[in-house]
Amino acid sequence: MSNQGNMTTLDREMLDSISSDFYITKKRIYLNNGSISPLPISSIKSMTDFNIRYSEVGPDSKEFTDYLDELKLETRKRIADLINGHEDEIIFTQSTTEGINMVANGLSWKVDDRLLIRNSLNEHFSNYLPWIRLSTDKNLQVRNFPEEKIESYGNSLIENFTSIYEKSTFKLVSTSHVIYNDGSITPVEKIGNIIKKNNKDTLYSIDGAQSVGAMITDVKKIKCDFLTFPSFKWLCGPLGVGILYVKKQVMEDLNPVSIGSGTAELVSVKNINSKGDRSKKSKESTKYHKYPEKYHATFRNFPGLAGLEASLRYLLRVGIQNIFQRNKYLASILRQELMKINDLRLHEATTEEFRSSLVSFSFKKQNNNRIQKLNARLQKEGVILAEREIGARKILRASPHFYNSEDEMVRTANSIKSLIQVLG
């Protein structure tokens, strides 16, 4: 199965069926999938079935252990299929944040190693703070991507990135695939080509929190060494599960940040004295298990894996490319409706190529208090958006997913227009 799935079209009957698979559609217009997505009914059932089986056969029984091994392997295979990786390159985490910290703290660093990262205006703090702390602790040098005006995003980014990248040797480059606040798509494939063409030893880390599950994400085309993403956003999986992809060729460079009985074993090594004779006393040491189990000292959310595996089956059956096209279509309807409201300003790339399905807006005249009031009133009406910031400016961000409807986009815009008139 390819990561695009099998289905070629999403007809009205299929769209109605998808909508009915999500309980949230019965009571809310939920447009906050960029934060946390609801679970499809099949995923809720899989988690319930897991806990029943856990209780019936005994959590430490061979029958259950065999089932758990099968579940982990099957989930890895589906994730690998989704991102065009290999099952042995898939590590389970608790979140995107944990995965990024595993990379930052698991690599070996030397004083004055250079990092190239996004600036704090556009980068999510989970992919910014770990690198800043690391640079302080390890005395590393940090450079930022060139700032881009959202209106011209992408047109000059590659040229400016190249000019910075070619002037220095960087240990690691990190960026988000989709910017969390304004929804712009980073040309990660072009950046990956530049990185590997100029210096194959430079490591390339991608935060895929806003892309994986919402659009085709191919680690081979991107040429990334690391990709982190959560279960609970666009994959419609449960909370407490994340994924870290580590390319096989760099796994030896990434040391586990935690160690325990499930990740390593104790071995004894005979000491050799200064004369070359073996001492009677032996020295204890550790030997890590094979990939990827060596990284799983702290992961125990196995019911969450059952839910994620079911969600992956669901999304792959629909097809990621179908989901991407559907989400972009819904976002375009919402944008068109919001553009009719004179008081609003959209924060988006001018070029469609760099637009995701995140739709961000604020008032033309900055008024953070008014944004907060509008969001609170929308929630009371059952319209769920996210409140975010671009610098000091408060914005509202809508993130429709494939189970949403065209009618919900229009109703959301109408609610916003009516509430703006009420708020004055």
> Residues, the chain, total?
424
pLDDT in tens, the chain (424 residues): 345 554 457 899 999 999 999 999 999 999 999 999 999 999 999 999 999 999 999 888 999 999 999 999 999 999 999 999 999 999 999 999 999 999 999 999 999 999 999 999 889 999 999 999 999 999 999 999 877 665 556 667 888 888 889 889 999 999 999 999 999 999 999 999 999 998 999 999 999 999 999 999 999 999 999 999 999 999 999 999 999 999 999 999 999 999 888 788 888 766 655 565 555 566 788 888 888 888 988 788 999 999 999 999 999 999 999 999 999 999 999 999 999 999 999 999 888 999 999 999 999 999 999 999 999 999 999 999 999 999 999 999 999 999 999 999 999 999 999 999 998 7
* Spatial distance between the Cα atoms of 200 and 203, rounded to a whole number of angstroms: 8
184 in Cβ contact with 152 (< 8 Å)? no
Q: Are strands 203-207 and 172-176 parallel, antiparallel or unpaired?
A: parallel
Cα atoms in the Cβ-side hemisphere of radius 13 Å centred on 359: 26
Query: What are the φ and ψ backbone dihedral angles of 345, each rounded to 5 degrees?
Result: -125, 130
**Matching residue, tokens 């959301």:** 412
Q: HEC profile for 117-163?
A: ECCCCCCCHHHCHHHHHHHHHHCCEEEECCCCCHHHCCCCHHHHHHH
* Spatial distance between the Cα atoms of 377 and 369, rounded to a whole number of angstroms: 13
Domain range 56-261+301-316, CATH architecture: 3-Layer(aba) Sandwich (3.40)
Q: Are strands 383-384 and 29-30 parallel, antiparallel or unpaired?
A: parallel
Query: Of 325, 301, 382, 309, nearest to 95 (Cα)?
Result: 301
Query: What are the φ and ψ backbone dihedral angles of 272, each rounded to 5 degrees?
Result: -115, 125
**What is the distance, to the nearest Å, from the Cα of residue 74 to the centroid of all Cα atoms in its chain?**
20
CB atoms < 10 A from the CB of 257, how many? 15
pTM confidence score: 0.93
Burial of 91 (0-12, 13-18, 19+ CB in 10 A): buried
Give residue limits of the domains in the chain: 30-35+319-423, 56-261+301-316
Torsion of CA 147, 152, 157, 163, to 10 degrees: -80
Q: Which two tokens stand for residue 307?
A: 């839910």
* Spatial distance between the Cα atoms of 137 and 254, rounded to a whole number of angstroms: 18
Task: Write the single-letter amino acid at 58.
Answer: G
According to CATH, the superfamily of the domain at 30-35+319-423 is Aspartate Aminotransferase, domain 1 (3.90.1150.10)
